[in-house]
């Protein structure tokens, strides 16, 4: 009889947030022991109870700030952490232009403090939440990882600076194994309907706005730009189901292990997208079908800073991580609607 090895322990910073909470479930399902850390700046403690309700398992949770190096080091050592997935950070583009210093402090300062704590605790497997925003204005599409980078707002610059820091760190000490995952547009929710994207106030992003219009909580969707040079004049993005994205993190962590594709490479950037672009109106129509509700919309001026169209070249993820996005736009809309309906029921 062979004895199974003990599960590996992974720390998720920002683990109660939208993508972190879905990734916690996927990693738990894949056999990892998952420890969560969050300062609750943009998350509710209630998410912890929901993760436990879904899995029937407890998740060790620390309310702490990633900039608190001593606190993070204590968690890493105390929990016997072997790898970190770093979601914690602020992500509102408009806010980052209004208050860039707080974005550099939280995002860049947070990453540096976390990496210092990791080095002190001798933990050197790191997966970072980067973003397709680092590509800037497309020189060609789809964006592959070799596309030049040029962030166009302070939020994007924080992601680019952190990627550069990670590259320098990996070059300085070949014990590090680092994957920077460039996400496209995550939407959708877990099948349970218990966790999902639930921003405070009026949503900035398309899917949460559409969900609230369909539920009658907001009157009408403003479609920002109907005269772009795209298939129907509206903006085109690569929407990726958050559960696919969560599984991409499992694949990345596994690929960082010795003997696996990223195990020999100290630093890699990898796109996590579907490779398919959908317009705003395609998403609205898919949502109407999935919810069986109307989504009234009106044409509105282009939103400052928006690009007309972009989508991923996803083949590097397929080759290195053995991962690809599987879930359809319909599934993204149906799960978003199930989450919205469940929230309304309280
Ligand atoms: P989110 O706001 O739901 O999650 C981030 C979590 O980090 C929150 O729970 C927040 O409370 C926590 N946090 C923030 N600052 C912290 C700090 N200093 N210390 C500890 N915890 C802190 O956002 P999300 O959509 O889940 O995004 C996760 C990551 O993915 C972010 O880094 C974001 O920039 C990146 N990303 C998101 C998207 C997207 O569209 N959602 C796209 C590309 C990249
Ligand atoms: N969008 C829109 N109305 C909204 C929110 C977004 O028309 O209320 C459009 C936006 O112009 C872009 C797409 O929807 O073309 C996705 O925007 P989102 O903010 O969700 O993500 P982004 O790609 O900007 O990160």
Q: 308 CA to middle of ligand 1, Å?
A: 25
pLDDT in tens, the chain (346 residues): 667 777 899 999 999 999 999 999 999 999 999 999 999 999 999 999 999 999 999 999 999 999 999 999 999 999 999 999 999 999 988 899 999 999 999 999 999 999 999 999 999 999 999 999 999 999 999 999 999 999 989 999 999 999 999 999 999 999 999 999 999 999 999 999 999 998 888 999 999 999 999 999 999 999 999 999 999 999 999 999 999 999 999 999 999 998 888 878 899 999 999 999 999 999 999 999 999 999 999 999 999 889 999 999 999 999 999 999 999 999 999 999 999 999 877 7
8 A C-beta contact, residue 329 and residue 277: no
Give residue 319's region: left, alpha or beta (phi > 0; psi -120 to 50): alpha
Q: Which of 59, 177, 166 is nearest to 123 (CA)?
A: 177
205 lines ligand 2 (CB under 6 A): yes
Atom of ligand 1 nearest to the CA of 186: 40
Strands 278-279 and 83-86: what pairing? unpaired
Mutating to test ligand 1, I would choose from 46, 51, 68, 89 the residue with most ligand atoms within 8 A of its C-beta, which is 89
Q: Where are the alpha helices (DSSP H) in the chain?
A: 18-29, 46-55, 69-79, 93-98, 100-103, 110-120, 154-172, 206-214, 242-255, 280-291, 315-321, 329-345
Which H/E stretch holds residue 295? none
Question: Counting Cβ atoms within 10 Å, is residue 122 exposed (0-12), middle (13-18) or buried (19+)?
Answer: exposed
| Beta partners for residue 84, in sequence order | 11, 126
Does CATH number 3.40.50.720 belong to domain 9-344? yes
Residue 49, both tokens = 């109870």
Strands 278-279 and 236-237: what pairing? antiparallel
From 18, 135, 155, 228, active-site residue: 155
Its pTM stands at 0.98
Which residue's CA is the closest to the ligand 2 atom numbered 1? Answer: 206
103 is catalytic: no
Atom of ligand 1 nearest to the CA of 38: 21
Atom of ligand 1 nearest to the CA of 42: 11
Which residue's CA is the closest to the ligand 1 atom numbered 4? Answer: 17
Domain ranges in the chain are 9-344
């Amino acid at each position: 009889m062979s004895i199974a090895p003990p599960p590996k322990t992974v720390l998720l910073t920002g683990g109660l947030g939208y993508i972190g909470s879905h990734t916690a479930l996927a990693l738990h399902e894949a056999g990892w022991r998952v420890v969560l850390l969050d300062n609750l700046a943009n998350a509710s403690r209630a998410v912890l109870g929901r993760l436990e309700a879904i899995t029937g398992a407890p998740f060790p949770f620390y309310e702490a700030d990633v900039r608190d190096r001593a606190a993070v080091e204590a968690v890493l050592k105390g929990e016997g952490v072997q790898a970190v997935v770093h979601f914690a950070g602020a992500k509102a583009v408009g806010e980052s232009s209004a208050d860039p210093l707080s974005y550099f402090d939280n995002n860049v300062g947070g990453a540096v403090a976390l990496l210092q704590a990791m080095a002190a605790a001798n933990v050197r497997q790191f997966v970072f939440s980067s973003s397709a925003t680092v590509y800037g204005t497309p020189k060609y599409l789809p964006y592959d990882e070799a596309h030049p980078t040029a962030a166009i707002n302070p939020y994007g610059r924080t992601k680019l600076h952190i990627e550069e820091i990670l590259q320098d760190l990996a070059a300085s000490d070949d014990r590090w194994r680092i994957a920077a995952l460039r996400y496209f547009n995550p939407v959708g929710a877990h099948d349970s309907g218990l966790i999902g994207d639930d921003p405070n106030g009026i949503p900035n992003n398309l899917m949460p706005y559409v969900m609230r219009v369909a539920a009658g909580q907001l009157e009408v969707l403003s479609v920002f730009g109907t005269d772009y040079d795209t298939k129907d004049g509206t903006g085109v993005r690569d929407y990726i189901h958050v559960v696919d994205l969560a599984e991409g993190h499992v694949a990345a962590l596994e690929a960082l292990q010795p003997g696996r594709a990223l195990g020999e490479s100290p630093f890699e950037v990898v796109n996590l997208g579907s490779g398919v672009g959908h317009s705003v109106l395609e998403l609205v129509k898919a949502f109407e079908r999935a919810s069986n509700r109307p989504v009234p919309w009106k044409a509105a001026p282009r939103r400052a800073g928006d690009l007309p169209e972009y989508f991923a070249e996803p083949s590097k993820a397929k080759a290195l991580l053995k991962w690809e996005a599987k879930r359809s736009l319909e599934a993204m809309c149906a799960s978003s609607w199930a989450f919205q309906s469940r929230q309304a029921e309280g």
